[in-house]
Chains A and B, each alone.
Chain A
Amino acid sequence: MRNRAFCAALLLAIFPVLDAPYRVAAPGYRYEFPRDFFAHPEFQTEWWYTTGNVKTADGRAFGFELTFFREAVNRDASKQGAWDLRDIYLAHLALSDLDGGHFYHSERVNRSGPGIAGVDSAGGKVWNGNWSAVWKKDGSQELTARSGDFEFDFTLKSEKMPVVHGENGVSQKADGAGRASHYFSQTRLATNGTISVQGKQFRISGLSWMDHEFFTHQLSADQTGWDWFSIQLEDKTELMLFILRRQDGSIDPHSAGTYVDAAGKATHLRANEFSLTPTSASWKSVQTGATYPIAWNVVVPKLMITLSATTRLPQQELAATSKFAPGYWEGAMQFSGKHCSADILGVGYLEMTGYDHPLRWTK
């Protein structure tokens, strides 16, 4: 799945589904690129989610997150003015200054309006104000964002084909038709560019990961949160793993993952084929009161992968500024362990939701 379903949840809390029927994610969806890089307005919720670990030439490390959300709120065909509300566009931006020990984040909510935010398939652009992701003719992507604290301009070049998660084109999240999403990732994006933070500019390079997911109303009421990992190992393999936590403390059987080998071939992992186990290391947020486990053990027996996940910056929590949104933790991680009995290192991101309070669903 992808984390940000929870964001969808918060959006849903504000914008309940009107009677307009939205399409639900169903098996058999045929992906087509570059079409599917862009908007799917017939689905209610959609996001583009890029995270990455980058470094300057002299080793100063940063993590970043830039996420665009689209949430359909109205499909009244009689209102076609530029300002008429059809979709709400939400965006999150974060920078983890891992050596400086700072975490910066900000968010944006807009309607598309007269070009304020939106998705332009023809122009290859997803944007919210002056935060944007632009797909170039050569297949590379340009990521630009600026806030009061920092700004960055990155060029992302994918080293592999997009990977579709789940089975038969759907990533099932709960029992029942439609409780699912269409979910694909670009798991290895070579990243180059600049970061300016507090007036200082850094030239960086590194690895990014991009998720794109679209669906209508995928989770079920007893799911209280999730933990999601993206892992990019030195041997050019990647892992996406998530567990859905339930009210009774158990792990939902719809938890799943994907393994991508060095050639880009994807293998679906079921809930019983991996384990994600928090260690005792934790960090308590002053702002939200939530306690997050910040060190995990990752085991995928079938692939002979054993990793321990740690972070250099415990406070990568995006505490919500709006009373509607819950806080969540989304941070740059480093991995070390074994893959097929060889020592291995990796980088990636961890997202943890539902720790401040259980996610609440409307309806």
Chain B
Amino acid sequence: MTGRAKLFWRLMVRPIGREPVRMGLTILAVALGVAVVLAMDLAGTAATGSFRSSLETLTGHYNFEVTATGGVPEEIVGRIATSPINLAISPRMEDFAVVAATKKSVVLLGLDLVGEAEAIHLKSDDGASPSAPETENIATDFSADDSIWAGSSLGWQKGQHVSLIIGDRERTFTVRGTYDDQNQPAIVMDIAAAQRTVGRAEKVDRILIAIPESENLEAQTRQISALLPAGAEIRSAGTATDENRKMLAAFRWNLKLLSYIALIVAAFLIYNTISVSVVRRRAEIGIARALGASRSDVLLAFTGEAAVLGVAGAAIGVPIGRVMATGAVRLMGATVNALYVSSRPGPIELGANSIITALVVGIGVAILAAYAPAREASQIAPIEAMARGRREFLMRVHSLRDLTLAAIFGAAAWAAAKAPAVGGKPLFGYLATLLAIVAGTLAIPSVVHAAMKLFGATLQRTSVAALLASRSLLGSLRRTSVLVGALATAIAMMTAVGIMVGSFRTTVIQWMEGEVPADFYLRPAGNSSADRHPTISAELADKLATLPGVEAVDRLRAYQVSFDGVPTTVAAADLRESRKRGHSDFFSGRPAEEVLNELRSGDAVVVSEPFTYKHKLKRNDFISLRLGTSLASFRIADVYYDYGSERGFILMDRSAMKKYLPGDAPSNLAVYVANGADPAAIRKEIELAAANYRVLIFSNADLRKQAIVVFDKTFAITYALEAIAVFVAVMGVAGALLALVIDRKRELGLLRFLGASRAQIRRMILAEAALLGLVANAAGLLLGFALSLILVFVVNKQSFGWTIRFHWPVAILAGALSLIFVATVLAGFYPARIAVRLNPVEVVHEE
């Protein structure tokens, strides 16, 4: 055993140390692969997995909640409080305030500061008891609408005056006290003042209820349910958080899978590294076999080498991943806020589990990738120890076999792409992507072979460097094709995601042309995100409508609802104006006017495509919605394309919404300028009219621009993941070229004997890099195109329900591919330097 260990050490581990740069690159590749996987896992858990709504603060020990669209009528609080059930309640107003000085958004809670425990004992949700807001004079403070109590992490002092933007109003508040918020900042008000501040009279946003656990629990909740109007429901506290978490799962899945690209690329590199080791050490392996090492010893030795690389990579990858996670959380958090729900990322927790997973993934991938070359090594006969010299003969390419397999995998990918989603997740879509990558990888040696032959024949007359480069690459075709495969896979994923995002972007831009017809849009300056709909004062809308030169003002009011356990937005709009101007395209193909007329009856809605996709609904189906105090049923009059919200959108006429929720404060305003009026002058008028309101005014162009900015921010993390994968692949190219240089030392020296200049040697190595880059780009582009079809039409559709129109983002792709090409050539510089510095006399020396 010790003998074997020694053998293992001498023949396998020690050589690793002899090529520190190349081994270092391989280890770094594994490290980055592991780091990305770990970072996305940690960030995913922090930003979405342990996602909690930022409203879930100071929620104490409450285990149930009563909610209703547009708020729970406040008398329900009295009904529940006096019900003959032993319970505690916490009626709450919940909103967001934007701190005028910092523009930061903070949760604003209106709590019953009298009723909730005696005096004011706010309990934090983890059971620890933050100190009560300090107050000297509750009676006076309560009577003042400007009283707030600030979470300690806001850093405000008692007595300080703070300007807050809530909805479309900015007001000054006085900090009456602070409380230990355990880093979950919130501004607390008394519920009476909060109701006035957020402008929701006679409603509370949520009633939290604590019922002690007992066998009667279910009966008790039924008892409470019986007290509620049809529009309100009792459910487990934090249900919204759970629903959001569920909704975020698809988003998280996609990112998680993207994070594995870098690891896949690293696997290619491990494969390459071990292959090189096997080729180089054929004689040593033969000797070892001749001296009595068994096949499994050899297999073990090389998988062992891979494991060493895996362990080293994972060990370095874990701390890198932790650092990356910080950035990733920020990016993911921004996306979650923009696209889904206002949230507060949890802390990044690098637990033993994450580390073990990272190690297992890193080492596992390394061993798996090394298995094939290690197995080949184990097949080496002892007789090879006697082989004179080492020659790497031309690898025979099993073109027919590989291409047949590629075709089979391609067909399997095609079949998988046709399969439906599993539990809302495009599992088969991912499988199709993987199969397509395998097919591409199998086809790549043949592609490289053909390409090199072609290039060689074409280029040999123009440049001896190109001839030598193409021949050299052909000569090490198996290795080369693995590298091209790695780079091509990275490029393919980048291209695919690039095409998907680009297509999406263009689709959104084109869609906005039709959907954003008004000249100006207004929204409150207060916090808004996919799930928050702060409102603009109704009188401002009225005022704007009377401005000369304004033809009409559309009011849109949106509410957050839960439909079938999935968060959704239900909105109401004046459909007169958009009907006139917009060219909303409906699935039925009917003219917008005809569809919107059906909504006037008040019992029909139109819904967005993601909504129908998520809930498997279609035109003329009926849906039930909790609105205000009612449970109302609506017919789906039609389905429209929408790229504004992944949550899904239900749109009804304003008159219909008013029946259930009479509040007339709009969430957004769309202002139409009369024909012939000067938009710039009208904008001034609007700004003047809105001087006392904190609203944001967007011109049509502004709005589109802003939408695209948000869009791009959303995909920032995707780009980052792609970039890392490509970086790893380019690093692999550098490492591989280095290996090629080292293996061809003698040849390079010979060329010098034959009259090659240093410049020619350098050019030759760079030409090899360029050829690799070129072939990889070509193969990657081709494979990427295939993958993009899967992403656009399968993965995206099944994850999010959007129909994206295919579009080539030519400029971006051309830019990215050129950049990768340049990077690949640059990656050749170090190996070229090594090649040039070789002493020809030494390397050709024959004894």
Which residues of chain A have a CB within 8 Å of any CB of chain B? Answer: 14-16, 18, 73-74, 76, 79, 81-85, 88, 107-111, 113-117, 127, 129-130, 132, 144, 146-148, 151, 321-324
A111–B212 CB distance below 8 A: no
* B110-164 at interface with A (beta carbon < 8 Å): 112, 114-115, 118-119, 137-140, 142-143
**Closest-CB distance, A216 to chain B (whole angstroms):** 15
**A residues within 8 A CB of B75?**
82, 114-115
With A83-B195, A115-B78, A116-B115 known as contacts, the answer to whether A130 contacts B139 (CB < 8 A) is no
With A15-B139, A130-B82 known as contacts, the answer to whether A116 contacts B119 (CB < 8 A) is no
**A residues within 8 A CB of B143?**
18, 74, 76, 79, 85
B82–A113 CB distance below 8 A: no
Whether B510 is near chain A, meaning CB under 8 Å from some CB there, is no
Whether B79 is near chain A, meaning CB under 8 Å from some CB there, is yes
Decide if the interface of chain A is mainly helix, strand, loop or mixed. loop
Whether B77 is near chain A, meaning CB under 8 Å from some CB there, is yes
- Which partner residue on chain B sits nearest A14 by CB separation? B138
Whether B353 is near chain A, meaning CB under 8 Å from some CB there, is no
**B residues within 8 A CB of A115?**
75, 77-79, 81-82
Q: Which of B43-51, B83-91, B407-415, B499-507 forms part of the interface with chain A?
A: B83-91
B81–A130 CB distance below 8 A: yes
Which residues of chain B have a CB within 8 Å of any CB of chain A? Answer: 74-79, 81-86, 91, 112, 114-115, 118-119, 137-140, 142-143, 190-192, 195-196, 201-202, 212
- Which partner residue on chain A sits nearest B87 by CB separation? A130
Pairs of residues from A and B, 6 with the lowest C-beta to C-beta distance, nearest first: A115-B78, A83-B192, A114-B74, A322-B118, A15-B139, A110-B115
- Which partner residue on chain B sits nearest A115 by CB separation? B78
Give the distance in Å from the alpha carbon of A76 to the alpha carbon of B143 in the complex.
8
**B residues within 8 A CB of A147?**
86
**A residues within 8 A CB of B74?**
82-83, 113-114
Give the distance in Å from the alpha carbon of A289 to the alpha carbon of B202 in the complex.
46
**A residues within 8 A CB of B76?**
114
**A residues within 8 A CB of B138?**
14-15
Give the distance in Å from the alpha carbon of A129 to the alpha carbon of B115 in the complex.
10
The 8 Å CB contact of B86, one of A18, A83, A148, is A148
**Closest-CB distance, A84 to chain B (whole angstroms):** 5
**Closest-CB distance, B60 to chain A (whole angstroms):** 16
A130–B83 CB distance below 8 A: yes
A116–B118 CB distance below 8 A: no
**Closest-CB distance, B663 to chain A (whole angstroms):** 16
Interface centre among A81, A83, A84, A151 (most CB of B within 10 A): A83
Give the distance in Å from the alpha carbon of A129 to the alpha carbon of B195 in the complex.
21
A113–B78 CB distance below 8 A: yes
- Which partner residue on chain B sits nearest A322 by CB separation? B118
**Closest-CB distance, A163 to chain B (whole angstroms):** 31
Contacts A116-B82, A130-B82 known; 4 new A-B pairs at CB < 8 A: A81-B201, A83-B195, A109-B118, A115-B78
The 8 Å CB contact of A107, one of B77, B118, B139, B192, is B118
B112–A83 CB distance below 8 A: yes
**Closest-CB distance, A111 to chain B (whole angstroms):** 5
Give the distance in Å from the alpha carbon of A84 to the alpha carbon of B84 in the complex.
25
Give the distance in Å from the alpha carbon of A73 to the alpha carbon of B114 in the complex.
12
**A residues within 8 A CB of B86?**
130, 146-148, 151
- Which partner residue on chain B sits nearest A125 by CB separation? B82
Give the distance in Å from the alpha carbon of A148 to the alpha carbon of B210 in the complex.
12
**Closest-CB distance, A131 to chain B (whole angstroms):** 9
The 8 Å CB contact of A85, one of B79, B137, B192, B195, is B192
A111–B119 CB distance below 8 A: no
Give the distance in Å from the alpha carbon of A322 to the alpha carbon of B331 in the complex.
46
- Which partner residue on chain B sits nearest A323 by CB separation? B119
Give the distance in Å from the alpha carbon of A337 to the alpha carbon of B571 in the complex.
78
The 8 Å CB contact of A79, one of B83, B84, B140, B192, is B192
**B residues within 8 A CB of A74?**
139, 142-143
A16–B139 CB distance below 8 A: yes
**Closest-CB distance, A170 to chain B (whole angstroms):** 27
Give the distance in Å from the alpha carbon of A14 to the alpha carbon of B779 in the complex.
78
A116–B139 CB distance below 8 A: no
Give the distance in Å from the alpha carbon of A114 to the alpha carbon of B71 in the complex.
14
**B residues within 8 A CB of A18?**
139-140, 143
Give the distance in Å from the alpha carbon of A74 to the alpha carbon of B119 in the complex.
17
**B residues within 8 A CB of A324?**
119
Q: What are some 22 contacts across the A-B interface (CB < 8 A)? A: A14-B138, A16-B139, A81-B192, A81-B195, A83-B74, A83-B112, A85-B142, A88-B114, A107-B118, A109-B115, A109-B118, A113-B112, A114-B78, A115-B77, A116-B77, A116-B82, A129-B81, A130-B82, A130-B85, A130-B86, A146-B86, A324-B119
B119–A322 CB distance below 8 A: yes
A127–B82 CB distance below 8 A: yes
A83–B191 CB distance below 8 A: yes
**B residues within 8 A CB of A113?**
74, 77-78, 81, 91, 112, 115
**B residues within 8 A CB of A85?**
114, 139, 142-143, 190, 192
**Closest-CB distance, A288 to chain B (whole angstroms):** 16
Interface centre among B84, B139, B140 (most CB of A within 10 A): B139
Interface centre among B86, B118, B191 (most CB of A within 10 A): B118
**A residues within 8 A CB of B201?**
81
Give the distance in Å from the alpha carbon of A81 to the alpha carbon of B119 in the complex.
21
**B residues within 8 A CB of A79?**
143, 192
**B residues within 8 A CB of A15?**
138-139
- Which partner residue on chain A sits nearest B75 by CB separation? A114
A144–B118 CB distance below 8 A: no
- Which partner residue on chain B sits nearest A73 by CB separation? B139
